[in-house]
């Protein structure tokens, strides 16, 4: 398999609220909610870097499409990471997320690998790490 991950889709409980958080709160660009003319089709996409997209889709629609039942939320199943260029940027992004309604999880602090990172939960309980790693360049 070639590593061609082009879309990360998050199941959300309230699509308009989730779109507002990512668009208005975090400043990610989107055309808004599309696909409302289809049963289980309402979705929003956000363009990220290098062709990667973030999708927001109601959890019930994701369950319907996959054939799986809607399960309980778990913030420890996976984490999305937003890597930035400095400690100051980590603090700024965490502050922006908190102002937009994210729940603080772990304040930014120095890490074991020489970096600096903190965590927040989006309004649907998805775990995000905001990190600066001195070994990675942007």
pLDDT tens, position by position, 90-119: 999 999 999 999 999 999 999 999 999 999
In this prediction, residues 8-35 reach a mean pLDDT of 97
Identify the H or E element spanning 82. Answer: strand 79-84
Q: How far apart are CA 85 and CA 73, in angstroms?
A: 31
pLDDT averaged over every residue in the chain: 95
Look at the chain and report how many structural domains it folds into.
2
128 is in which domain, residue-wise?
79-132
**What is the number of H-type helices and E-type strands within the chain?**
3, 8
Q: How far apart are CA 31 and CA 84, in angstroms?
A: 25
Asked whether residue 2 is domain-assigned, the answer is no
Edge-to-edge order in the sheet of strand 79-84: 79-84, 127-132, 116-121, 103-110
Q: How far apart are CA 11 and CA 4, in angstroms?
A: 21
Residues 12 and 62 both lie in one domain:
yes
In this prediction, residues 20-28 reach a mean pLDDT of 98
Residues 24 and 62 both lie in one domain:
yes
Extract the tokens encoding 114: 């020489």
CATH code for the domain in which residue 117 is found: 3.10.180.10
Comparing CA positions, the residue from 118, 120, 101 lying closest to residue 132 is 118
Asked whether residue 117 is domain-assigned, the answer is yes
The three-state secondary structure class of 119 is: strand
At residue 138, the pLDDT reads 54
Asked whether residue 138 is domain-assigned, the answer is no
pTM: 0.90
């Amino acid at each position: 398999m070639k590593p061609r991950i082009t879309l990360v889709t998050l199941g959300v409980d309230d699509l308009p609220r989730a779109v507002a958080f990512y668009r208005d709160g975090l400043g990610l660009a989107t055309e808004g909610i599309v696909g409302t003319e289809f049963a289980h089709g309402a979705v929003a996409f956000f363009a990220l870097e290098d062709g990667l997209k973030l999708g927001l889709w109601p959890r019930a629609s994701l369950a319907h499409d996959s054939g799986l039942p809607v399960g309980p939320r778990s913030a420890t199943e996976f984490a999305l990471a937003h890597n930035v260029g400095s400690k100051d940027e980590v603090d700024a992004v965490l502050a922006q997320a908190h102002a937009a309604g994210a729940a603080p999880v772990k304040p930014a602090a120095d890490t074991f690998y020489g970096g600096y990172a903190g965590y927040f939960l989006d309004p649907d309980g998805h775990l995000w790490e905001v990190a600066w790693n001195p070994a990675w360049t942007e």
